Structure 1
Amino acid sequence: MKKDLTQGNVTGTMLRFAGPMILGNLLQQCYNIADTLIVGRYLGASALAAVGSAYTLMTFLTSILIGLCMGSGAVFSVYYGKKDILQMKKSMLASFAFIAAVSAILNGLVFLGIHPILYILQVPESVYPLMYEYVRVIFFGIGFVFLYNFFAYLLRALGNSVVPLCFLGIATILNIVLDVLFVVRWNMGVGGAAAATVIAQALSGAGIGIYTWVKEPELHPGKRETAIDRKTGAEIVRNSFAACIQQSVMNFGILMIQGLVNSFGPVVMAAFAAAVKIDSFAYMPAQEFGNAFSLFISQNHGAGKRERIRQGTLRAGAVSLAFCMVISAGIFVLAPQLMQIFVDAGESGIIRTGTEYLRIEGAFYCGIGLLFLLYGFYRGVEKPEMSLVLTIISLGSRVLLAYILSPLPQIGVLGIWWAIPIGWFLADVTGIACIGRLSGYRLKEPD
């Protein structure tokens, strides 16, 4: 199931590698929807509010671990492309020790700080007991999130994107089955919903770790790899932290936008909540394609295949732009109907506001698709700090423009919607302009 990303047809290799990653994210989205439906239908609005708020919190916490694993995965992929298995094993050991330590510290902090965290989130009194019950259980899954993502990014660095998909698919199905048993049949409440998630996370994390140990014996560390030198440790920390901070900045920027949206009242809040779900689902394949593209670049960067990187970058751009144009057209035409999936047809104000958002964002999905590729490119050529810079430009300008434009009476909430694609555009321009100068790669044919 491994794919040598340094060989074969460039476009076909990228698409075959990216396919399982995209499908895996779709499965995860389907689970999130199923979980919401089960909790909302059988436990009521307060339970749904508790689980929904906890999901936002867990997304932020897990984004830290996912960012660390993503950054390390790029390092693994570079050494795999170089065929330097010795250094790759040193990097694996350093990365595992580092991210495991971060995971343990993070887990300890959230358990100790449950009540202060819920206070900071301003959880209403009616929801507080339910959310406390849920997070007290769900926090046990943080370590398993680390295990799954560490080994998933390790296998993807080897060109294997199918096995992580299989374990994610099994965990998703198990999670839904356990949700039905614990919540619907055995009436275990929100604690049961959390337990279902943790059990599924444990299976996927432990399972993929055991699979990797059994099926990839060449990755077992020997005596030479157990001594981690300072250079290896610094490289892992640098790449991991850059990707981690990027993920955290993205979530922080979204929280700031959410606060501004809330100031426009419940109609805009409801419209934004529904539209963002559609928005995220629409461009998710482009995001996963960008992650797959990053590992393609990493392997070829390690192998020194500059021409293949040039071809891959241009063809990935064409594929992403074509996909985003099709999705943009579909979202623009079907925006009102898509809003009615989440909102009753009689809520005309919410549907109208959500449709405005989707038609503005949807018209510019090419911008976010290109930005995901730029993130992946800079991680792949060992310039992770540049990905962080682009994230700060995109989200910083978005937040700044939103807060400047939305108070203007003649613009209002539309200022928030328009600030988002403007932020994408500014980051895209910066990223493209810096490719040759900062990475050493030219995308045009030499003169």
Structure 2
Amino acid sequence: MTKSNTTDMTTGTPLTIILKFAIPIFIGNIFQQLYNLIDTIIAGHFLGDNAIAAIGATTAIYSLIINMANGLNNGYAIIVARAFGEKNEEKLRKSFAIMIVLNISASIVFTILSAIFIMPVLELLHTPEKIIGDAYEFIIIILFGIVITITYNMFAGLLRAIGNSRTPLIYLIISCVVNIILDFVFIVGLRTGVGGAALATMLSQLLSVILCFSLVIRKYPELKLSKRHFQFEKELVIEMFTTGISMGFMYSIFAIGSVVLQSAINGLGTAIITGHTGARKIVELCMQPLSTLSSANATFVSQNYGAGKYDRIKEGIRKTCLCGFIWSTITLVFIYLFAPFIIKAITGSTNHEVITNAVMNLRINMPFYYPLGVLLVLRTSLQGIGRKIAPLFSSSIELIMKCFATFFLVSHLGYLGVSIAEPSTWLVCMLFLLFTYKKAMKEIK
């Protein structure tokens, strides 16, 4: 294997390797969440509650499509990481070539579907009439730039698969700074409304794509492609496609549940939508360390599975979950002490209904970060060892439980029903995957 800025995770102390690999991903994810958060803060302070509600009303739709795209690339990256662990440079290049073709195809499909169905979906989700115009303007710009998002995630997944989580971080930080500057230019200076926030996001992501592409061309000779690498082997194409689809559906089934749940939230009024949007920004920000640990662990598991080092896999998973428990404790204490102040700062709202409901959501969610951390690690670990069905099935359980919350809990409990929906699914799915993981490791050994 040609030497470059990569990390071989099949040797060394598992926890040290995972944390060193995870820290740049974590910082990058935090920056990504921060500039999404700043979008909300700028919109809230300069455009008002309705602007936040408009952006929030589209969050579930955006997450559905983006999660599918991200899931596909995370799935493809598992095969790339496995080839890297096997020290098989030819398979590594062919896997990269297949990623390119599959992502071009996905971009075309997502763009066409967005153009046709986005307004009917907003109407189906009971988006309030006074914000549906702004909601459509925001989401259509985001989705017409889906090719940019997919391409960025392809490069990010590829670089993580071969052990480089540091260099993309630098590019992401640059992109975040540019996004914040463009937010002020479009929203405050040019007064383009919520559409300006969407456009700023797309342009800053395009910068990340250009920088990542330049990096791969200049620094990674082991990823240099020729015509022969696009002469695909059927078995490798099927392996990558099925792994990508499995991971993509796992992410998107979860997001479908969120879309269904969003329809119930939209029916509760603008104040609830605004409060929920503020709470979700905090939930997603605090979730980043758990998500980052699971992403780093996925690369670790995939490389060691390719190298046949199964005891390292178990040790890595165990210690990653322990780190997740430590973070969950810190988050729990912080949110219970400061939630009202954080919500006011993010939304810029003084509406009692907005703040009270957002705080309730946060305080219900945070104690369940312990099972959530285990759930996220086990999902990616099972994918890494080639077990594609169980993670997909766990996402289906989430969908069913969110549908139940939408059609039964919300009608009886209101926003309380929304708030307890996700934590209960995290607990159930964690127990299911824990049983599946133990069974899978026995079979492997």
Fold conserved between structures, TM > 0.5: yes
SS at match of 2:9: coil
Deviates more, 1:93-102 or 1:68-77: 93-102
1:375 matched to 2:375: no
2:138·2:195 contact (CA, 8 Å) conserved in 1? yes
CA contact (8 A) 1:329 1:363 kept: no
Matching residue within 157, 160, 166 for 2:164: 160
CA distance in 2, matches of 1:349, 1:56: 22
- C-alpha distance in 1 between matches for 2:317 and 2:90: 29
Structure-1-length-normalised TM-score:
0.88
The letter for the 1-side match of 2:324 is S
- Deviation of 1:397 after TM superposition, in Å, equals 3.1
| SS class of match (1:362) | helix
Shift of 1:139: 3.5
Q: What letter is aligned with 1:424?
A: W
Distance 1:205 1:296 in 2: 25
Give the whole-Å Cα distance in 1 for the aligned partners of 2:179 and 2:260.
31
User: Which residue of structure 2 lines up, in the alignment, with residue 429 of structure 1?
Assistant: 431
Could you tell me how far 1:223 is from its partner in structure 2? 4.7
Q: Secondary structure at the match of 2:145?
A: helix
* Aligned residue in 1 for 2:10: 6
Which of 1-10 and 305-314 deviates more? 1-10
Tell me: CA distance 1:346–1:135, structure 2 relative to 1, closer, same or farther (3 Å): closer
1:35-68 per-residue CA deviation (whole Å, 9 max, x = no partner) reads: 2233344445555544444554333322221111
Alignment pair present for 1:328 and 2:329? no
Equivalenced residues, count: 441
Shift of 1:182: 3.1
Q: 1:117 to 1:276 in 2, by over 3 A?
A: closer
Shift of the 147–407 alpha-carbon distance from structure 1 to 2, 3 Å rule, reads: closer
- Counterparts of 1:139 and 1:244 in 2: how far apart (Å)? 17
Distance 1:255 1:325 in 2: 29
Cα distance in 2 for residues equivalent to 1:56 and 1:289: 24
User: What RMSD over aligned residues (CA atoms) do the two structures have, in Å?
Assistant: 2.8
Residue identity (%): 29
Unaligned 5+ runs, structure 1: none
Worse-superposed segment, 114-123 or 255-264: 114-123
- Of residues 420, 423, 435, the one that matches 2:422 is 420
Query: CA deviation digits over 1:73-96, x for unaligned, max 9?
Result: 111111111111211222221121
Of 366-375 and 321-330, more deviation after overlay is shown by 321-330
Over residues 289-339 of structure 1, what are the superposed CA-to-partner deviations in whole Å (9 max), with x where a residue is unaligned? 111111111111111111111211111121111221222232233334434
Go from structure 1 to structure 2 and tell me whether the alpha carbon gap of 1:420 and 1:203 turns closer, same or farther (over 3 Å shift).
closer
CA distance in 2, matches of 1:351, 1:195: 29
| Cα distance change on mapping 1:105 and 1:290 into 2, 3 Å | same
Which among 432, 436, 440 is matched to residue 438 of structure 1? 440
Distance 1:146 1:258, change over 3 A: closer
Distance between the aligned counterparts of 1:268 and 1:50, measured in 2?
12
Seen in structure 2, the aligned counterparts of structure 1 residues 270 and 86 have a Cα distance that, compared at 3 Å, is same
Structure 2 vs 1, CA of residues 38 and 333 (structure 1 numbering), >3 Å: closer, same or farther?
closer
Distance 2:52 2:279 in 1: 18
Residues 394-413 of structure 1 aligned to structure 2 (within 5 Å) = 394-400=398-404, 403-405=407-409
Which is worse superposed, 169-178 or 396-405?
396-405
Is the 2:41–2:346 contact (alpha carbons within 8 Å) kept by the matching residues of 1?
A: no
Structure 2 segments unaligned to the other structure (5+ residues): none
CA displacement at 1:224 relative to structure 2: 4.0
Against the structure 1 CA distance between its residues 137 and 348, is the aligned structure 2 distance closer, same or farther, given a 3 Å change threshold?
closer
TM-score for both structures, normalised by structure 2: 0.89
Q: Which moved more, 1:155-164 or 1:89-98?
A: 89-98
Partners of 2:305 and 2:101 in 1: how far apart? 26
CA distance in 1, matches of 2:329, 2:118: 44
- The reply on whether 1:312 has 2:313 as its aligned counterpart is no
Cα distance per residue 1:355-405 (max 9 Å; x no partner) = 333232212210111111111111111213221112222442354367555
Contact 1:75 1:236 (C-alpha < 8 Å) held by counterparts: yes
**Distance in structure 1 (CA, Å) of the matches to 2:255 and 2:369:** 19
The verdict on how the C-alpha distance between 1:312 and 1:204 changes in structure 2, with shifts beyond 3 A counting, is same
* CA deviation after TM superposition for structure 1 residue 130, in Å: 4.4
Give the 5 Å matches for 1:40-59.
Answer: 40-43=44-47, 47-59=51-63
Residue 386 of structure 1 pairs with residue 387 of structure 2: no
Q: Aligned with 1:71: secondary structure?
A: helix
Question: What residue is the counterpart of 1:21 in the other structure?
Answer: 25
Given that residues 41 and 347 in structure 2 are in contact (C-alpha distance below 8 angstroms), is that contact kept between their aligned partners in structure 1? no
- Higher mean C-alpha displacement, 338-347 vs 188-197: 338-347
Contact 1:79–1:88 (CA under 8 A) maintained in structure 2: yes
Name whichever of 391-400 and 228-237 sits farther off. Answer: 391-400
Aligned to 1:74: 78
Q: 1:201 to 1:310 in 2, by over 3 A?
A: same
CA distance in 2, matches of 1:105, 1:398: 27
Amino acid paired to 2:400? G
Q: Which has the higher contact order (CA 8 A, sep 6+)?
A: 2
Are residues 211 and 40 of structure 1, via their aligned partners in 2, closer, same or farther at CA, if it must alter by over 3 Å?
same
Match of 1:274 in 2: 278
Cα shift at 1:348: 4.4
Q: Residue 230 of structure 1 aligns with which residue?
A: 234
